[in-house]
Amino acid sequence: MEQVTQQMLDSAGKVIAVHINYPSRAAQRGRTPDQPSYFLKPGSSLALTGGTVERPAGCELLGYEGEITLVIGKTARRVSIEDAWSHVAAVTASNDLGVYDLRWADKGSNLRSKGGDGFTPVGPGLIDAAAVDPAALRIRTWINGELVQDDTTADLLFPFARLVADLSQLLTLQPGDLILTGTPAGASVAVPGDVLEVEVDAPAVGLSTGRLSTTVTEGTTPLAPFGAQPKIDDKQREEAWGSLEAAGLPAKEEPASTLTPELKAKLESVATATLSSQMRRRGLNNVSIDGLTGTKTGRKVVGTARTLRYVPNREDLFKSHGGGYNAQKRAIDSVREGEVLIMEARGEKGTGTLGDILALRAKHNGAAAIITDGGVRDYSTVAGIDLPVYCANPHPAVLGRRHVPWDTDITVACGGATVQPGDIIVADDDGILVIPPAIAAELVEDCIEQERQEEFIAEQVKAGHSVDGLYPMNQQWLEKYQAWLDGQ
C-alpha cells in the first residue's frame, strides 16, 4: 500500500471540501441540501499522520471531522457521473479540523476557521480507487481510543462520482487535487491533549488506509489585535459539540403543542361523524380525506400532521431528488411521537408510496399513523405492523414508477383535502378528518354536548317516542333533556 508522503502534500493542488453529505450529519444539523456545496482549504493546511495540531490561543472550539478524501489522478473537465470515478486515483483518510470561534469572520468561506496550518491531516495510506466500490467504504473516528464516528458511503446524499462530475463542470480537476467528501454524525470538539484517529477502509475487500493520528496542542501565541478575534455563543457551542447536552447547555423548551393530552383524550371520545357535523356548522365542508382504506379496523387515530409531497415522475428530477436521503426518507426519519404523516400522491394508485421498511421506521419513531392517497407496497406486511396506515390501494411497483419525492412540511393535498403541518388529524373506521388547530378545543366541547343530546334522544326513541319534535329537539324536549342532564 502506497503511503501519503510529504512530497505528495507539497505538490497537492486544490483542496476542496464538501459541507454536508451524510444523512446522519444532515439529520444532526437539521437541514438537508438539495445540491452539494463546497469550500476551499489552503494547501498549507495539509499535514501528515502522527503530527500535532495547535488549537489557537484564545480559542475554545476546535472541531474535528473524520472524512474520506479523494485523490484525483486524471484531469477531469466536464465529465459525466458515469465516467467520473475513473478520474479518481485513490482514497485516503482525512480530518477536517477547524475552530468555530472564527466562523463568523469570513462569511462562510471558512478560510481562517478551517484553513489554519495543520488543519487538514491526511493519510497514512492510499487505497487504489480502482480496487474498491465507492459506495462500500467505511469511515471511523476515535478520540482518545473511543469510537465516535462510524458510518458508510452506502447512502450518501451525493455519491462520490457526482461530486467529481459536478465540480468538473466549472473548474478543471487536476492530478493531485484533493476532495474531502463530508463527515458523518459524531463530529465534535477536541481539547489540548486529545489524540484523534481516523481510518477509512473497504471491509468487503480488506483494504484500509490505517489510522490517521493527530494530537491536539494548546497554542501560546495570541492572535494579533488587527485581525478578527475569537467569538462564540451557545449556538456555535451546540453546533461544534454536536448537541446541547454534549456542550453542557440546557435543553431548549419545545413549543407547547395545540394537541394537549386533555384535548387528545376528548377528540378520541367523540365520533368522526360528530366532528364532521360540527365543522359543517362552522362552514367547513371540505375537511375529509376521502377514498382511502385503513389497515386497522376499530382503531381511533388522533395526532398532529406532518406532510410529504410527491410530484409526477420526471426522469431527470428523479435522478436528482429520488435517490439517497430523499424527501420520503427524511419525512419518515423525522416523524415524532404522536404525529401523523400525510402524503400527497395526487390520488395516483399505480405505484407504492410506502413499504414495510419505512413503515417499521415510522412505527419505531412513534408515528400515530401514515395516510397516503397513493398505493402501498408490501401491503400484507405493512398491515401486520402495529401502525395504522390509510391508502388508496395495495400496489407492487416502486416509487420511481410514478413519483418523485419532492418536499416535506409544506401544505399538501391528500384525498381531496388540504392539510397543513400542525393540523389535527382524527381518523376511525368512518373516515379521516382534518381539524384546524385554532378551533379544536371549542369544536370538541360542542361535539361532546351533541353526543350527550344524541344519547338522550336515542333513549327516548328506544322508549317508543316519535322523532317528530325530538330529533332535532323542540323547546319541550329541550326542557326534558335539561332535566335528564340534571339527574345524571
Instruction: Extract the annotated binding site.
Output: 355-358, 377-378
Task: For the chain, report the end-to-end CA distance as a whole number of angstroms.
Answer: 86
| Cα 89 to Cα 85, 153, 174, 269, 389, distances in angstroms | 9, 18, 11, 65, 48
**Integer Cα distance of 426 and 267 in angstroms:** 8
Q: Which three cell numbers stand for residue 192?
A: 489540548
List binding-site positions for substrate: 355-358, 377
**Integer Cα distance of 200 and 207 in angstroms:** 9
Angle between helices 475-486 and 440-462 (to 10 degrees): 100
CB 369 within 8 A of CB 389: yes
**Integer Cα distance of 10 and 17 in angstroms:** 18
With residue 431 as reference, give the H or E element that holds it: strand 431-435
Neighbour-count burial for 458-474, b at 16+ CB within 10 Å, e otherwise? eebeeeeeeeeebbebe
DSSP for 52-90?
EEEEPTT---EEE-EEEEEEE-S-BSS--HHHHGGGEEE
Which of 82, 74, 45, 81 lies closest to 180 in space, CA to CA?
45
Q: Which three cell numbers stand for residue 55?
A: 488549537
| Cα 52 to Cα 125, 192, 439, distances in angstroms | 18, 10, 62
